[in-house]
């Protein structure tokens, strides 16, 4: 072989090695960037917000007033129930827990929402996002569990009025309340920690607040376990409670149709607010789940935002008004406190 050919061959080998090394560095750098993106998501971008220009101050005032009304009405009813011994009955104790839970749901949304309305950059830090996910899902689970316990309480009061005091003791009431809070807090803690440990390849959430499934959709790692646990927890926290509520109301209706007029009046007066609350909350949750799972992007943006926030805004406002106006004992307390006759 000639010396010139040997030199050319050597140069070609060096160039090939250089190209392979550059390719390796490029692929390695690409993988490193992917890993950095998936493990160092320190904040999330909420993309559903849109520019309202000068109207943002008007929206801020409206939302703030709504928050004040929700907190004031729920706190007032909690104080009324706690301060009056005549209301220290199982039904009103469960109502008090319902109002406390609605304060949890409202405070997990409204303060953050008010800040975002005035902000030009709609971002939220990662830990705060997962904290909001935890609080919102705990609120939803406790709401369904508490409505289920309330339906069971009404079932015993209407179907077994003579044995009610022995069947629904204060010890049983305490067990129900502690159980619903423990199950909800621990169950939500599990799937929140599972979502927190996911490798994320993005940080854009298509909502105005943090939602667990929206974060799971950003994962670039396997989410099979998250999806299975999500379906299981949804069944236990939503499907099973609603099924038990429907069963108890079937039994209540059976007793009402075969009972006296007084029994029917009692059932209507105590069960109407509960049924209205259940339907109102179920509608809001169903729309939010459908929007998160199937991405219903049709329709005006403002309407989609309102419906996604419905179960967090309207339910805490709806329940105090409904129960405060419908239940006779609470109406009498309103009269004694404010000397106002509510109709």
Detail the DSSP E strand segments found in the chain.
43-46, 123-125, 204-205
Q: Residue 12's pLDDT band (boundaries 50, 70, 90)?
A: very low
User: Tokens standing for 27?
Assistant: 């692929």
| Domains, in order of start, for the chain | 41-331 (1.20.1070.10)
pLDDT (tens digit per residue) in 195-232: 888 888 888 998 889 988 889 889 888 888 888 998 88
Half-sphere exposure of 90 (CA within 13 A, CB side): 26
Q: How many CB atoms lie within 10 A of CB 110?
A: 21
Q: How far apart are the first and last CA of the chain?
A: 110
SS3 state of residue 125: strand
| Residue 196 burial by Cβ neighbours in a 10 Å radius (0-12, 13-18, 19+) | middle
pLDDT (tens digit per residue) in 16-63: 444 343 443 444 444 433 333 434 578 899 988 877 777 889 999 999
What is the pTM assigned to this prediction? Answer: 0.83
Residue ranges of alpha helices (H) inside 89-125 are 90-107, 110-118
Task: Name 219's bridge partners.
Answer: 200
- The average pLDDT across 128-132 equals 93
pLDDT at 14: 41
């Amino acid at each position: 072989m000639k010396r010139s050919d040997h030199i050319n061959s050597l140069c070609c080998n060096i160039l090939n090695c250089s190209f392979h090394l550059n390719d390796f560095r490029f692929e390695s750098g690409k993988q490193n960037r992917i890993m950095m993106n998936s493990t160092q998501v320190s904040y999330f971008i909420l993309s559903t917000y849109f520019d309202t220009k000068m109207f943002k101050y008007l929206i801020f005032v409206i939302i703030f007033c709504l928050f004040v009304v929700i907190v004031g009405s729920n706190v007032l009813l909690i104080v009324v129930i706690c301060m009056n011994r005549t209301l220290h009955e199982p039904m009103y104790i469960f109502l008090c827990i319902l109002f406390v839970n609605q304060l949890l749901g409202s405070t997990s949304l409204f303060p953050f929402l008010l800040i975002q309305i005035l902000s030009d950059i709609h971002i939220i830090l990662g830990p705060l996002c997962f904290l909001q996910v935890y609080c919102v899902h705990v609120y939803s689970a406790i709401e369904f569990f508490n409505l289920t316990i309330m339906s069971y309480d009404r079932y015993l009061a209407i179907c077994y009025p003579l044995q009610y005091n022995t069947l629904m003791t204060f010890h049983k009431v305490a067990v129900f309340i502690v159980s619903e809070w423990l199950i909800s807090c621990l169950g939500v803690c599990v799937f929140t920690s599972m979502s927190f440990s996911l490798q994320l390849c993005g940080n854009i959430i298509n909502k105005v607040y943090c939602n667990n499934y929206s974060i799971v959709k950003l994962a670039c790692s396997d989410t099979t376990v998250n999806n299975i646990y999500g379906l299981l927890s949804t069944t236990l926290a939503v499907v099973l409670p609603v099924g038990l509520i429907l069963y108890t109301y079937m039994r209540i209706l059976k007793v009402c149709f075969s009972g006296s007029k007084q029994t029917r009046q009692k059932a209507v007066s105590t069960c109407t607010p509960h049924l209205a609350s259940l339907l109102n909350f179920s509608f809001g949750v169903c729309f939010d789940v459908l929007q998160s799972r199937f991405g219903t992007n049709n329709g005006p943006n403002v309407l989609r935002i309102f419906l996604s926030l419905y179960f967090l805004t309207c339910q805490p406002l709806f329940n105090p008004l409904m129960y405060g106006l419908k239940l006779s004992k609470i109406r009498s307390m309103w009269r004694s406190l404010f000397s106002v006759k509510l109709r």
